[in-house]
Amino acid sequence: MPARFDLSLYLVTDPAMTARRGLVETVAAAVDGGVTLVQLRHKDGPFRLMVETGRALMVRLAPHGIPLIVNDRLDVVHAIGAAGVHVGQDDLPPAAVRALLGPRAIIGLSITREEELGTFDPATVDYVGLGPIFSTGTKADAAVALGPAVFASIRSQLRCPVVAIGGITGANAAQAIAAGADGIAVVSAICGAADPRAAAHALRAAVDSCRKAGIS
């Protein structure tokens, strides 16, 4: 059984956007604002830098009980003892990842369209990152935005927790939750914000408000 995790406000880091302030400092501020899960993403990052950054993040996250997920890099997961890994459709299949990391690891998988629903065994993943739900400029190779209606249709076919990602802001977070998302994942909305703590607080408030109002 994997460690407990909360998808409410999932922060995916971006080293370029956080360079001036510092990635670890940005994450720490965002956690103070209400982030519930953190993913260290730096696909081409040097192994040593990734390990040093990952360990520093785990020190900051541990008092809050927030797990650290690493994007794709199983070598980094093993080196720092991270809680889990997030993989895409072109990465190692979830079943192979599960075999390598064992039953306690948190394994997430990206899905960008309905056709990808049959590419994996749902029993091998703990959550799905579905999107982009809205247009996003964070990833140059991002898929076409699904929109809330298509997102809701795909989400209804998934029997695991789902986090919405892609172009999410405080203004449209409610639409993601209303479409069935268990939480929202953001990059630029926090990493690129002038005040990461305030940005995280506003996003978390939007999610919590939707749930209180029964919007889901």
58-85 residue pLDDT tens: 999 999 999 999 999 999 999 999 999 9
Asked whether residue 27 is domain-assigned, the answer is: yes
Give the pLDDT band of residue 213 (cuts 50, 70, 90): confident
Take residue 134 and report the two structure tokens written for it. 């809205």
Give the pLDDT band of residue 197 (cuts 50, 70, 90): very high
Mean pLDDT value across residues 184-210: 97
Return the bridge partners of 68, or none. Answer: 38
**Residue 119 burial by Cβ neighbours in a 10 Å radius (0-12, 13-18, 19+):** exposed
Asked whether residue 62 is domain-assigned, the answer is: yes
Mean pLDDT value across residues 167-178: 95
Asked whether residue 1 is domain-assigned, the answer is: no
85-101 residue pLDDT tens: 999 999 999 999 999 99
Structural domain harbouring 123: 9-212
Residue from 104, 113, 135, 139 carrying the catalytic annotation: 139
Query: Where is pLDDT greater, at 62 or 138?
Result: 62
**How many domains is the chain partitioned into structurally?**
1
Mean pLDDT value across residues 126-140: 87
| Statement: residue 133 has pLDDT above 70 | yes
Identify whether 41 is a catalytic site residue: yes
Identify whether 212 is a catalytic site residue: no
Mean pLDDT value across residues 11-28: 97
Mean pLDDT value across residues 118-127: 92
pLDDT over 90, % of the chain:
87
Asked whether residue 171 is domain-assigned, the answer is: yes
* CATH code of the domain in which 19 resides: 3.20.20.70
Asked whether residue 44 is domain-assigned, the answer is: yes
Residue from 8, 110, 155, 204 carrying the catalytic annotation: 110
| CA 55 vs CA 7, 29, 35, 79, 97: distances in Å | 21, 17, 18, 9, 21
Identify whether 110 is a catalytic site residue: yes
Asked whether residue 61 is domain-assigned, the answer is: yes
| Statement: residue 141 has pLDDT above 80 | no
Asked whether residue 54 is domain-assigned, the answer is: yes
Buried b (16+ CB within 10 A) or exposed e, 171-189: eebbbbbebbbbbbbbbbb
Asked whether residue 2 is domain-assigned, the answer is: no
Beta strands (DSSP E) in 88-175 are 106-111, 127-130, 162-165
